[in-house]
Chain A
Amino acid sequence: MLATIVLLFILAGLALYTVLGGADFGAGLWQLSAGRGPRARTIRDHAHHSMAPVWEANHVWLIFALTVAWTAFPAVVGAVASTLTIPLSIAGLGIIARGIAYALQSATEVPHERRVIDTVFALSSILTPYMLGSTLGAIASGRVPIGNAAGNLVTSWLNPTSILCGALAVAVGAFLAAVYLAADARRLGAGELQRAFRARSLAAGVAAGALAVAGLIVVHHDAERIYRGLTSGWGLAAVIVSALAGLTTLALVWGNRFQLARASAALAVVAILLGWAAAQRPIVLPGLTLRQAAAPHDTLIALIISVVLGGLILAPSLGLLFHLVLAGNLDPTHQPTVPLTPPSARHAPRSGRLAQLAIGCLLVGLVLLTLADPDAAHIVGVIALLTAAVLGFAAVAPDQTTLDDAPPR
């Protein structure tokens, strides 16, 4: 029961990483396929600006899923990471390359520099989701045995199911990105961009759907257990939901109803992921059920408490970010509503007085931390020292000292 709850957390993290981070990978792919010239430039810029404010947050979902996984199912993470060391290392390198390219994108406007940067960004945007997808394929087809690097280091991720899952991950990202970018273009009132990404949404949607159907055929031959799971019970329900949501998305995009299309596209993708989880259960790795893989009871409880409390802080924060982004408050064209009215100057405490207090705190800290031995004294001592630091900073008043400074030399 507890293990299932934690598994749902991980699936939620993976689902959000797929619909948010995946779209970000997809945006990278569209940057590559934009071609050259001023029109391609606007497509690339649009893809970059749309993703920029949410870029960091989207990618933390992967870290979230990973850290929860290694806390709750440590043996699974150990087995997966050691057997699938090659695709995961390549994904890691892809993440570095993307980060570099992303950081540089806003730093230069020189065309040939931008071209190199965009190409690196786009290639790593394909490589990384492919490798992560093939990792899931390896788990799904039961090619990761329990133990430290116990599986085949090559065929575990170079096999029909893995290749298909990798390709599907790339296609799904491209599809989501195109739909989101079309919606953003509509909000910005950029008609040509909207048409460009509408066409891309339709093409990528058809491609992702075709790959998903091909996937059923491949797992029929390569991962029989998953095939049976996907054609019965909850697995089948998820497949049907995904198919319907996918078709609905295509219809909505066709009719330029992009805001609704965002949601149905995300649903189509999440349903695939949940379908896989339903088909896979209760076995995580060959011979290892979810219950056997789970960490001790107290760990699961502690983790659930932490995730719920963290979620209570995180959910409104994320809500705020996406509200600001989707309402256009962080668009380059947005103007602030309230001008700054600084308060009238207030009498600041004298520097000398602050310095005396700082030295007093320093002496208290010195006695309690350095000379005294009990732990309680150390705690008070550290607090006194940190207070001394703050008071010292205020006493120096670095925002003012420089005014009466002597000229150089």
Chain B
Amino acid sequence: MIGADAVPGLTTVQQSYLLQARQMQALSFMVHIPLVCFGIAFPTLILFLEWRYLRTGDELFKTLARRWTKVLVTLFVAGVVTGTILSFEMGLLWPAFTSTFGSVFGLGFAIEGFSFFLEAIFIGIYVYGWDRLAPRLHFLSGVPIAVAGVLGSLMVITVNGWMNHPQGFTLVDGKVTDAHPFQALFANSYFWHELVHMYLAGYMVTGFLVAGCYAVGRLRGRWGRYERIALSVPLTAAAVASPLQVLVGDWAARDVATNQPIKLAALEGLGPTTSGAPVHLLGWYTNGHVEYGIEIPRLLSLLAFHNINATVQGLNSFPAEDQPPVNVVRFAFQTMVGIGSLLALLAVIVLLVRWRRGRLPSTLWFYRALVLAGPASVVALIAGWVTTEVGRQPWVVYKVMRTNQAVTGAGGIPVSYGLLALAYLVLLIALGWALRRLAKTPLPASDPVPPTAPLTADEPVVG
């Protein structure tokens, strides 16, 4: 185990506002990451609709795809802005991290920059090409957007995988003397579960949020063919992704158990190293054990190592200064797992009703649950990232560089934090307002299926 002063050549920076710097980074990330989900999944859903339009000639699909395209571009602009801020913060908040390890991990972001570029170029063509390019050409111009969305998240996640499982460099006196970026980023076995987990999360968040908007419409009586398809397409995407997410999440936890035993111990609040370790639901971690939790004996050993008697390393076997804040990590993890399980249940209901009855569920309770599922999926998404990021603390590069060695030496973090929070508040309000405006735009008169109810001021966010 490498202790604080055993890390060679890296000095701890004098920064009284380390926690605020971390919160600022977390805030920027929380605003950006739901937009990433839309970058991953929304283009594919829109392309599916446009493909159906090309195959059937049914104007309804085109109307829907066009309206979603406007939503996509609005979200993309917000994504460009928040993504630029994140790349600024790599230098502004963590200059020592960037200047020490930029040569190792930077390539991932450079390639991500390219995919971002590709996305931006083809979004320009796709959005402004509706009705101006030949239909098939227009469809093709959308394909790179979907590909780039996936490629971009792959790149960012390779960097995150590297921070959790660093390799591919030699550190001498705090300086990287030898770097192999391709090996560091892509030969790393640790990022694949993160990528698949995030990819499915993208479909869940996008699917449940978009479907949730039309569920609001349904509860208010707007339920024509247009609204049904607009609800059904994203809902189906989320419904097939959610049950799989349970399996992928289990895989991710097993990888964490092998590679980051401290994180696993923090997830479960396991103090002493235990053979046949239990899982605790809920409760509070204090003094090396979970109080008021519901204990399920031997489950942790079974889940993590496929053996009910396996030994799981506890937090007590690590020095206190190497432990993450256990309750934050544990609470975030339980939130993610809890919401994820409920969403998977909702998804199974959708699939079963479709299979047995050949239609969408008809009870109002289902649509009420669906309205909540969107925001809940965002909460689960953020909780999941809190789990992995806070769970890595106190390290920025796992067991190599501590977060307090990475932070900027410049003052004024509380000021910029306050300003950023304010700017993001305005951004979110503006985004909500812009999306409502888009939703209020009436459907084109030539549309063969007009909405069943008149459009009112209380429109859903996505229209």
Contact = CB atoms under 8 A, between A and B. Distances in A.
Interface of A: 52-57, 59-60, 62-64, 66-68, 70-83, 85-86, 88-89, 91-93, 95-100, 102-104, 107-108, 147-150, 153, 295-296, 298-299, 302-303, 306-307, 310, 313-314, 317-318, 320-321, 324-325, 329-331, 334-338, 340, 342-343, 345-346, 355, 358, 362, 365-366, 369-371, 373, 375, 378-379, 382, 385-386, 388-389, 392-393, 396, 398-399, 401-409
8 contacts: A63-B84, A71-B109, A82-B91, A330-B132, A336-B132, A371-B306, A382-B192, A408-B218
Contacts of A378: 192, 251
Interface stretch (B269-277, B311-319, B392-400, B426-434): B426-434
Interface of B: 13, 48-49, 52-57, 61, 74, 76-78, 80-85, 87-88, 90-92, 95-96, 98-104, 106-107, 109-114, 116-125, 127-129, 131-136, 144, 176-182, 189, 192, 196, 200, 218, 221, 223, 225, 228-229, 231-233, 235-237, 239-241, 244, 247-248, 250-251, 306, 351, 354-355, 358-360, 362, 364, 408-412, 416, 419-420, 423-424, 426-427, 430-431, 433-434, 437-438
B398 to A, nearest CB: 19
Contacts of B410: 82-83, 85, 149, 153
Contact of B107 (A306, A314, A369): A306
Given A148-B409, A370-B250, 8 more contacts: A53-B127, A64-B113, A77-B99, A100-B81, A103-B74, A330-B124, A393-B240, A396-B239
Contacts of B412: 85-86, 153
Contacts of A358: 240
B124 A53 contact: yes
A303 B351 CA distance: 46
Contacts of A317: 118, 121-122, 144
A53 B13 CA distance: 44
B245 to A, nearest CB: 10
Contact of A100 (B54, B101, B250, B427): B427
Contacts of A72: 103, 106
Contacts of A340: 53-54, 57, 135
Given A67-B87, A77-B98, A408-B218, A336 B131 contact: yes
Contact of B118 (A76, A295, A296, A313): A313
A87 B247 CA distance: 47
Given A68-B110, A107-B74, A303-B110, A88 B228 contact: no
A135 to B, nearest CB: 11
B117 A104 contact: no
Contacts of B237: 393, 398
B178 A296 contact: yes
B403 to A, nearest CB: 14
**Most-contacted residue by chain B among A89, A334, A409 (CB, 10 A):** A89
B426 A100 contact: yes
B132 A100 contact: no
Nearest to A379: B192
Contact of B111 (A95, A306, A365): A306
A302 B135 CA distance: 39
Contacts of A324: 125, 129, 133
A237 to B, nearest CB: 31
B247 A79 contact: no
Contacts of B200: 389
Contacts of A71: 102-103, 106-107, 109-110, 181
B88 A74 contact: no
Contacts of A73: 102
A330 B123 CA distance: 12
A330 B128 contact: yes
Contacts of B52: 399
B177 A296 contact: yes
A88 B133 contact: no
Contacts of B179: 295-296, 298-299
